[in-house]
């Protein structure tokens, strides 16, 4: 298997997964922040690794990159990318204080960003595990502020050479009238990508016959 191409039923299934994880993450963040939070997953899709940079934009943008490695039935990484100005703004909400770039780069600031990513990525990991019956165990996050191109390339180089695709979760975090756009990348080793694809097909009734894929007939 070289990659995943989602059919209509599978896209609908991934949309449901996104809505579920968004509700879970929003509820958790609302309790922490003490205000109403909406977490909108606008799209979940798969792209070739070489196209990641075209999707994300200027590799020279400074971002907060929060990396979660995960193991067990799925192996790979979740990478949350937040433009540094938006990350600083969110951290101010989280800590209920004005945060400058020096504080954001401090151990306390990095810890706060890690907590944000724990909530976001935890909701996605939980939803994927529950809906696809897959056991996923995440490690504690590693937070880094650097150029977006450097952070993404570092993660890609850790994957096995045969890995060809990433799953992109486009997310909007809405706090009061503030909208924070976040990209979450799920980078799976090739065997894990195949398992994910097989479980999605199983859950949606889509199967492969020879070189073709078709909807399962009732």
Give Rg (Cα) of the chain: 17
Q: Compare 196 and 6 and report the one with higher pLDDT.
A: 196
Provide the pLDDT for residue 208.
53
How many domains does the chain contain in total? 1
Residues 1 and 93: their CA atoms lie apart, in Å, by 44
With vertex at residue 137, the alpha carbon angle to CA 27 and CA 199, rounded to the nearest 5 degrees, is 85
Q: How far is CA 56 from the centre of its chain?
A: 13
Give the mean pLDDT of 151-162: 84
Residues 51 and 121: their CA atoms lie apart, in Å, by 22
Query: Is 1 a member of any domain?
Result: no
Query: Is 135 a member of any domain?
Result: yes
Task: With cut-offs at 50, 70 and 90, classify the pLDDT of residue 1.
Answer: very low
Query: Is 91 a member of any domain?
Result: yes
- pLDDT tens sequence across 29-74: 888 777 788 888 877 888 888 888 778 778 888 888 888 888 898 8
Mean pLDDT is highest, among 112-116, 127-131, 176-180, for 127-131
Provide the pLDDT for residue 3.
60
Residues 148 and 77: their CA atoms lie apart, in Å, by 16
- pLDDT tens sequence across 117-151: 888 788 888 888 988 999 998 888 889 899 988 99
pTM: 0.78
With vertex at residue 183, the alpha carbon angle to CA 9 and CA 135, rounded to the nearest 5 degrees, is 60
44: three-class secondary structure by DSSP? strand
* CATH assignment of the domain containing 74: 3.40.1550.10
Mean pLDDT of the chain: 81
Provide the pLDDT for residue 147.
92
Q: What is the largest CA-CA distance in the chain?
A: 60
Query: Is 214 a member of any domain?
Result: no
Q: What range defines the domain where residue 120 resides?
A: 8-204
């Amino acid at each position: 298997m070289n990659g995943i191409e989602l059919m209509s039923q599978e896209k609908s299934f991934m949309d449901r997964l996104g809505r579920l994880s968004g509700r879970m993450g929003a509820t958790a963040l609302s309790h922490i922040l003490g205000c109403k939070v909406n977490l909108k997953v606008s799209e979940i899709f798969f792209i070739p690794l070489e196209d990641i940079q075209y999707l994300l934009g200027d590799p020279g943008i400074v971002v907060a990159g929060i990396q979660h490695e995960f193991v067990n039935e799925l192996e790979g990484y979740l990478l949350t990318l937040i433009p540094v100005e938006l990350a600083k703004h969110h951290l101010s909400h989280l800590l209920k204080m004005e945060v400058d770039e020096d504080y954001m780069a401090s151990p306390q600031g990095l810890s706060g960003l890690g907590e944000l990513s724990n909530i976001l990525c935890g909701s996605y990991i939980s939803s994927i595990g529950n809906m696809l019956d897959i056991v996923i165990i995440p490690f504690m996050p590693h937070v880094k502020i650097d150029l977006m191109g450097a952070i993404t390339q570092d993660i890609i180089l850790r994957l096995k050479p045969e890995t060809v695709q990433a799953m992109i979760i486009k997310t909007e975090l809405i706090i009061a009238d503030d909208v924070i756009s976040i990209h979450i990348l799920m980078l799976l080793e090739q065997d894990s990508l195949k398992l994910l694809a097989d479980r999605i097909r199983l859950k949606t009734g889509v199967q492969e016959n020879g070189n073709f894929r078709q909807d399962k007939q009732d």
